[in-house]
Amino acid sequence: MRVVKAILLASGLMLASPLAAQDLIHQPISPTFGGNPFNSQHVLGVANANNDFRDPRATSSNSQADIFARQLQSRLLSALSSQIVDAIFGDNPQESGTISFGGQTIEFFRSLEEVTLIIRNDTTGEETRIVVPLFIEVD
């Protein structure tokens, strides 16, 4: 009987006291979902730290010879692209031309208004076309 009286007394006190509550407001952390934009670097860093996926195409070899070969290839391609640009837009521009290297063929055609470059992969036949407008200088 004492237990019942204690329960009734406790429930009576709870009903007699004023209740206070406030609205629950959810605020997202990620800026993608409306959160603070200053959190973007932190969220990206955490996501990258948790990402254990590795690209199977990525080369894991970083020996000195591999680094040198990549740098040499980059320099040779840069020199070749400079020669192509000079052949198209230099002091003595050519009307058309074809250059083949490393399994790719680059063709260019010059008209009065534009230069069309066609970059073709010789293995797959895939083509990329680039059209560059020519600006005519008026004396």
Query: pLDDT 10s digit of each residue in the chain, 139 long?
Result: 777 777 776 776 666 666 677 888 888 887 778 778 888 888 888 888 888 887 777 666 678 888 898 899 899 889 888 888 888 888 888 899 898 888 889 899 988 888 999 999 999 999 999 998 887 655 4
Contacts of 29 (CB under 8 A, 6+ apart): 35, 36, 39, 43
Does residue 116 fall inside a structural domain? yes
Does residue 68 fall inside a structural domain? no
Does residue 73 fall inside a structural domain? no
pTM: 0.47
Number of structural domains the chain divides into: 1
Does residue 108 fall inside a structural domain? yes
Does residue 65 fall inside a structural domain? no
Structure tokens belonging to residue 34:
């409306």
Does residue 14 fall inside a structural domain? no
Does residue 107 fall inside a structural domain? yes
Using alpha carbons, list the distances in angstroms from residue 69 to 55, 61, 62, 103, 130: 21, 12, 11, 18, 29
